[in-house]
Amino acid sequence: MVNILDGKRVAAEIRAELRAEVETLKAQGKRAPKLAIVLVGNNPASEVYVANKLKACAEVGIEAQAIRYPMDITEHTLLNEIAKLNNDASIDGYIVQLPLPEHINETAILSAIDYRKDVDGLTPENVGRTVQGLPSIISATPRGIRELLARYNIQTAGKHVVVIGRSNIVGKPMAILLMQRPYLSLPGMSASALGDATVTICHSKTQDLAAICRTADIIIVAAGSPKLLTAEMVKEGAVVIDVGINRVEITNNQSPITNTKRFRLVGDVDFEHVAPKASYITPVPGGVGPMTIVSLLQNTIQAYNEHSR
């Protein structure tokens, strides 16, 4: 029987824990942790993500501030603003909301972030430290997925995990976390149960993705392609984690009043047909998404605890 990995519920549980942690800090006379979010331009999807992040911070008592810049800001000016954030002692961590406009070199911007404040875990320093198994700030989505697996007591040691997608944000750091020798322990789970997986990374040039997926105990899909993972690709009892967020048009459902198209969010998994074969599966929405946001909060408190006192 399939079990839903309820990211929405687990994220709410973690937010309650974080709220208690922040309240304890304040009761000790310390200031609240502070997050800044750099937003360039007004990409509608980014606006929604930023609003959700600000709301989540408010819920746990983390101070949060969106810093907005116009679409035509130069790379040089943005780098200067990044330098100011690096030197601002009142800010524990910050993120640069992606994507950036095309005229700005994303790598140059991310590389300029002080890794101690890099609560998205995307600087070369943090990624390198993660690869070497050193304490680091871990990219939010992989951290959230690992936490979700841990809270459902799903062991990864010795399992074959297939990660579909090789992005710097999800696929690559996810694969590293799963294959590495564990050094962190999470509540309710022994350290040895996390990591230690045998990982296969697949991408758009992979030959016979279906055959590889059929050998997986755990499949993590982060491709941005609706219904990429079908039931025929999944072995009975596999754990399926759907990272994808795709906006698809609802057919035959045009609003008669506004005459506008309607959309809904779907993942990368053909949920309806895969769910009956899976032992555990994340829904979209309500699976990985809320875990990603809560990881950002955890990373901010981590940065505060490690560097700001």
Number of residues that bind ligand NAD (CB under 6 A): 25
Angle between helices 140-151 and 171-179 (to 10 degrees): 40
Asked whether 33 and 63 are in contact (CB, 8 A), the reply is yes
Compose the 131-150 pattern: x for residues touching ligand NAD by CB under 6 A, - for all others.
----------x---------
State how far the Cα of 4 lies from the Cα of 22, in Å rounded to an integer.
30
Q: Catalytic residue at 97?
A: yes
Select from 52, 155, 198, 206 the one that contacts ligand NAD (CB under 6 A): 206
Site membership for ligand NAD, residue 289 (CB under 6 A)? yes
Strands 160-164 and 63-69: unpaired
Q: Which of 162, 163, 288, 301 binds ligand NAD (CB under 6 A)?
A: 288
Active-site residue, from 53, 242, 270, 298:
53
Per-residue contact track with ligand NAD, 215 to 254, x per CB under 6 A? -------xxxx--x--------------xxxx--------
In one-letter notation, the amino acid at residue 11 is A
> Does residue 172 interact with ligand NAD by CB under 6 A?
no
The C-alpha atoms of residue 6 and residue 163 are separated, in whole angstroms, by 20
**Pick 157 or 209: Cβ nearer ligand NAD:** 209
Pairing state of beta strands 280-281 and 239-242?
parallel
Residue 5 interacting with ligand NAD (CB under 6 A): no
Instruction: Give kind and range of the element (H or E) at residue 62.
Output: none
DSSP per residue, 230-257? -GGGS-TT-EEEE---EEEEPTT---TT
Question: Residue 111, interface with ligand NAD (CB under 6 A)?
Answer: no
- The pair of structure tokens assigned to 164 is 């579909």
Yes or no: say if 82 and 107 are a contact pair by the CB < 8 Å rule: no
- Say which of 6, 34, 92, 97 is annotated catalytic: 97
C-beta of residue 248 within 8 angstroms of C-beta of residue 264: yes
Nearer to ligand NAD, 22 or 294 (CB): 294
Instruction: Give me the catalytic one of 6, 92, 120, 268.
Output: 120
Q: How many whole angstroms separate alpha carbon 92 and alpha carbon 144?
A: 20
Dmax over Cα atoms in the chain, in whole Å?
58
Binding of ligand NAD at residue 52 (CB under 6 A)? Answer: no
Give catalytic status of residue 180 as yes or no: no
Q: Which of the stretches 12-20, 58-66, 114-122, 284-292 binds ligand NAD when contact is defined by CB under 6 A?
A: 284-292
Residue 60: CB minimum distance to ligand NAD, A: 18
Q: Is 171 in the site for ligand NAD (CB under 6 A)?
A: yes
157 binds ligand NAD (CB under 6 A): no
DSSP β-bridge partners for residue 280: 3, 239
Rule CB under 6 A: say whether 283 interacts with ligand NAD.
no
Does 202 participate in binding ligand NAD (rule CB under 6 A)?
yes
261 in Cβ contact with 287 (< 8 Å) = no
Catalytic residue numbers? 53, 97, 120
Give the residues lining the site for ligand NAD (CB under 6 A): 141, 164-167, 169-171, 202-204, 206, 209, 222-225, 228, 243-246, 288-289, 292
